[in-house]
């Protein structure tokens, strides 16, 4: 398959979510909508290195397709990463970015004929937010949906209010955040205990994993140990 061409986009809004996390809204140049499938990503070509492949940084799209040329990214600053340093220090509203996309095959199986467990940490919620909002927007038939979201602190649960609202709007959807370093009135600990509890009787299920490699590697091992098959597990690794 031929690579998609590089195109231009303009940053039309930036919102600071935490001290080290920002949301970026990008409008693709031209009048056509930016068509993508929930779960896909874009690659940015940033002027941070003379070699092209060392300038490229990929980010999952956090918004759902809506027929407009605008999409959203949520990005956490890596103090040692040239890409995020550039985005945080050099990019502002009105900046032009070179990008390629949409790309990727981290997509929901069709039809959604068994329970789905979305398991993530940090900005790994991005593709799942896109998927869930699209299910609601299109009123797609589905089985039970679970978003199991691990974070150290409550302040780092991105889109928390939106996910709680989505519980009331989307049938058979449960939002289950869990904190590893803060005591609160919700669940504490890591994501693994949550899905192991929910799947104790091994119901048919699909597992979608997104986040840092350590979490994904452990989750994959635990899910296989519960008796599920590799084809039941779908993953997108960050970093």
pLDDT digits (tens, 9 = 90+) for 162-175: 999 999 999 999 99
- The answer to whether the peptide bond before residue 229 is cis (omega within 30 degrees of 0) is no
pLDDT at position 158, please?
A: 96
* Region 31-37 average pLDDT: 90
Token pair recorded at residue 106? 């981290």
pLDDT at position 1, please?
A: 55
Fold of 7-103: Elongation Factor Tu (Ef-tu); domain 3 (2.40.30)
Domain range list for the chain: 7-103, 116-238
pLDDT at position 110, please?
A: 86
Length in residues, the chain? 239
- The 233-238 sheet, strands edge to edge: 187-188, 173-179, 145-151, 116-121, 206-212, 233-238
pLDDT at position 171, please?
A: 95
Sequence-separated (6 or more) residues with CB below 8 Å from residue 62: 23, 71, 72, 73, 74, 125, 126, 127, 129, 130
Per the CB < 8 A criterion, the answer to whether 233 and 223 are in contact is yes
228's torsion region: left (phi>0), alpha (psi -120 to 50) or beta?
beta
Neighbours of 46 (CB within 10 A): 21
**Residue 239, pLDDT above cutoff 70:** no
Fold of 116-238: Rossmann fold (3.40.50)
Residue whose C-alpha is closest to residue 225's, from 188, 199, 187 = 199
pLDDT at position 2, please?
A: 66
Q: Give 105-162 pLDDT, tens digit per residue.
A: 999 988 999 999 999 999 999 999 999 999 999 999 999 999 999 999 999 999 999 9
Query: Taking every pair of C-alpha atoms in the chain, what is the biggest distance, in angstroms?
Result: 54
pLDDT at position 226, please?
A: 96
Q: Give 175-226 pLDDT, tens digit per residue.
A: 999 999 989 999 999 999 999 999 999 999 999 999 989 999 999 999 999 9
List residues bridging with 146 in a β-sheet. 117, 174
* Region 80-105 average pLDDT: 96
pLDDT at position 31, please?
A: 74
């Amino acid at each position: 398959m031929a690579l998609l061409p590089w195109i231009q986009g303009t940053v039309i809004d930036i919102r600071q979510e935490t001290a080290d996390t920002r949301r970026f809204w990008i409008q693709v140049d031209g009048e056509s909508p930016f068509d993508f499938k929930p779960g896909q990503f874009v690659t940015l070509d940033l002027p941070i290195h003379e070699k092209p492949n060392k300038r490229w940084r990929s980010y999952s799209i956090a918004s759902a397709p809506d027929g407009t040329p605008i999409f959203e990214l949520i990005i956490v600053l890596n103090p040692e990463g040239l890409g995020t340093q550039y985005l945080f220090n050099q990019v502002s509203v009105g900046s032009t970015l070179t990008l390629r996309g949409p790309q990727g095959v981290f997509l929901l199986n069709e039809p959604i004929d068994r329970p789905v467990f979305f398991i993530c940490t940090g900005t790994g919620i991005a593709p799942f937010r896109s998927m869930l909002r699209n299910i609601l927007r299109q009123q797609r038939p589905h089985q039970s949906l679970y978003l199991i979201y691990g974070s150290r602190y409550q302040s780092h649960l991105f889109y928390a209010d939106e996910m709680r609202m989505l519980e009331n709007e989307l049938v058979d959807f449960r939002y289950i955040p869990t904190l590893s370093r803060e005591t609160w009135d919700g669940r504490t600990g890591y994501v693994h205990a949550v899905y192991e509890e929910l799947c104790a009787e091994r119901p048919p299920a699909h597992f979608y994993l997104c986040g840092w490699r350590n979490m994904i590697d452990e989750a994959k091992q635990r899910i296989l140990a519960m008796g599920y098959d590799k084809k039941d597990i779908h993953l997108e690794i960050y970093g």
